[in-house]
Amino acid sequence: MIVLRASFSLFLAVVLAGAAQSQTLKIADRQASKTVTAQQLLADPATRTVTIPNDPVYGRSMTYRALPAVELLKGLAIGREDYVEFAATDKFSVGVPARLLLDSPGTRPRAFLAIEAGTEPWPAIPDRGKETAGPFFLVWQDAKRGEISSEYWVYKLASLEVTDSPYKRWPALNVPDNLPSTHPARRGLDRYVTLCISCHRFNGAGEGEMGPDLAKPMNPVDYFQPEAFRKFLRSSKSVRDWPERKMPSFVEDMLSEEDMEALIAWLTYKARHP
Ligand code: HEC
């Protein structure tokens, strides 16, 4: 009983803290940081109504009040070689190449920060209980299928920060310069940084904490049967399933057969050359 009561009050504290903080977004570059509220962003003259015909998080067409990412990043010290680290309230964290966010109006795809108004909450995300994608959600207009990583649709956003590229921040992820340029591990590293780093660390490298470290204590190529690993990446529930399962299923649109082999080649390379 005591345990139950303690965890219930902890639950309440977390819920209340979440509600109090949830309507603000922290924005930082290398010099300064500021916090803006949903109300301020909704009142920005550049905020407009945006329709996303195939919203991958909701699995249907959605309409949002949204601020173009270019406007959101205005005034920050940011270059095209930089990345912007987007962190969500649920420990998901991904670096998006700044050039994708800064591209001039008219170029496609275009990134927007969708803003949930406290008075008009969005619907709950399918299969995620009562959670909505709010208060802030990074959405992409006119992205062709597979063009923008599924991980770049960051929902439940809490902060964004201008950073170096992941290759510069975590050099241990890299493969050596003398590895042939055609070696699949090179492409595999690119896929890892685009698709996996948001939730997993690799030997400590990265900021994701939603899933396990993929090098420590063991690299999956060292404990998975090769075919079961491929099956797991395509459809995680076909290997194990439970209500709290969060590992996405990377269907071919998100990860082609060739890219999956490249990703496995990188994991294998790193397992053999720690
Ligand atoms: C949205 C977050 C997320 C992303 C993105 C993600 N994973 Fe996971 N992954 C998880 C979580 C959480 C788990 C723990 C199991 C679970 O809850 O489903 C997991 C588990 C795993 C496991 C452990 C499986 C086991 O049972 O030992 C491997 C291996 C793995 N992921 C590989 C990958 C690879 C490779 C990628 C990129 C292609 C990736 N993950 C992308 C969240 C993620």
Give tens-digit pLDDT for 125-176: 998 889 999 999 999 998 876 678 889 999 999 999 999 999 999 999 999 9
Mean pLDDT taken over the chain? 90
Distance from C-alpha of 83 to C-alpha of 161, rounded to nearest angstrom: 8
Residue 173 contacts by C-beta under 8 Å, 6 or more apart in sequence? 166, 167, 189, 192, 193, 202, 205, 206
CA 179 to chain centre: 29
Residue 128 contacts by C-beta under 8 Å, 6 or more apart in sequence? none
- Distance (angstroms) between ligand 1 centre and the Cα of 217 equals 15
Residue closest by Cα to atom 12 of ligand 1 = 211
Q: How many CA atoms lie within 13 A of 227 on its CB side?
A: 0
The larger pLDDT score, comparing residue 2 to residue 181, is at: 181
pLDDT digits (tens, 9 = 90+) for 185-244: 999 999 999 999 999 999 999 988 899 999 999 999 999 999 999 999 999 999 999 998
- Distance (angstroms) between ligand 1 centre and the Cα of 20 equals 30
Contact present, 270 and 214 (Cβ < 8 Å)? no
Q: What is the rounded average pLDDT of the residues 99-104?
A: 85
Atom of ligand 1 nearest to the CA of 240: 26
Tokens in use for 46? 């550049």
